[in-house]
Amino acid sequence: MDKLLSSSSSIQQQIPKANLHTSLSLSRNKHFVVKKKLSAKYLIYPIVAWFLFILLTIIYFIFVCPWYYHNINKIIPIIHGLFVFYVGQNFLQSMCMDPGVYHPCQVNQRRDEFRLKFETKLYSIEKIDFDVTQCTSCFIVKPPRTHHCRYCGYCIDTLDHHCPWLCNCIGRRNYRFFLLFLFTLLIHVNITFICSLYLIIALRENLLQVKVIVSFILVFCTTILTGLVGGLFGLHVIFVSKNITTFEQVTGKFMDVEQTPFDRGIVQNWLRICCVSIIPKLNRYSTDGACQKCTTDKHLSATNEQETLRV
């Protein structure tokens, strides 16, 4: 940890002073404007996702649940209905929650004058070397596992991926809710599949009833969704167990090592995702040149992984 902080200090001495405004106004920030425009452009994806989720759920509760309410048990559709609200809550939190945005610096100088020119500095985590890198779009020095999202226009802490269906990045702050959404959605889809299939079997002597035909459609749709959502959730179970992000997996960042430097074992990796308190929103930095100092309510380590790393 001390090595990384000392590296940042040495870099800071090599960078010419820039006239920065630390009290930024997001409404006037050009990066924020770009993000809003891009979000509007790709808004069709979450609209389609919400439409399919609501449509299939409504069809299920109109045609299938009444039969269970009157013939099996009244509590089944009630419990399932409450569970659907929990699925929607996780959906909304994944979509609307700040994933861990590092707000960009605003400068009065031309971009070309502000570009940093310094020697590449290295620091080690578990005997693996990392470069001290800069973001030429946000004008900040990026901590490990932080990457710039070209769709959102921000650097995201521990970026996993940008999800077009949520119109949001999945990062350090909302990854837990993204996993919960996949898990609860998978349960909801499977319950719908099982209940629809059971209704078909129970009413197999009269397959021309509307609710039976609708159940066939639901079985078909939920079979496809189970494969898609289940496959995606299974991948993330593997990623969490190894403490690796989708970005790192796709780019092959740790392909040549048996164990990533952030891997603390399956149990600790899952505890980190499920039990560690969510960090507060990352405040803007007090900057000097281009080396920022973190000013969160709780201290955020320079390695981005204080609770799981031995630097």
The C-alpha atoms of residue 262 and residue 268 are separated, in whole angstroms, by 11
**Tokens 């400068």 belong to which residue?**
107
Residue 101: strand pairing partners = 156
Degrees (nearest 5) of the Cα angle 147, 153, 157?
Answer: 35
Radius of gyration for the chain, computed over Cα atoms and rounded to the nearest angstrom: 24
The C-alpha atoms of residue 215 and residue 200 are separated, in whole angstroms, by 7
Query: H helices then E strands: how many in the chain?
Result: 10, 13
For the annotated catalytic residues, the residue numbers are 163
**Tokens 């909302």 belong to which residue?**
174
User: For the residues of 85-106, what is the DSSP string, one character each?
Assistant: HHHHHHHHHHHHS---EEPPPE
- CB contact at 8 A, 260 and 248: yes
DSSP conformational letter for 150: T
The C-alpha atoms of residue 169 and residue 235 are separated, in whole angstroms, by 17
The C-alpha atoms of residue 230 and residue 87 are separated, in whole angstroms, by 15
Residue 107: strand pairing partners = 20
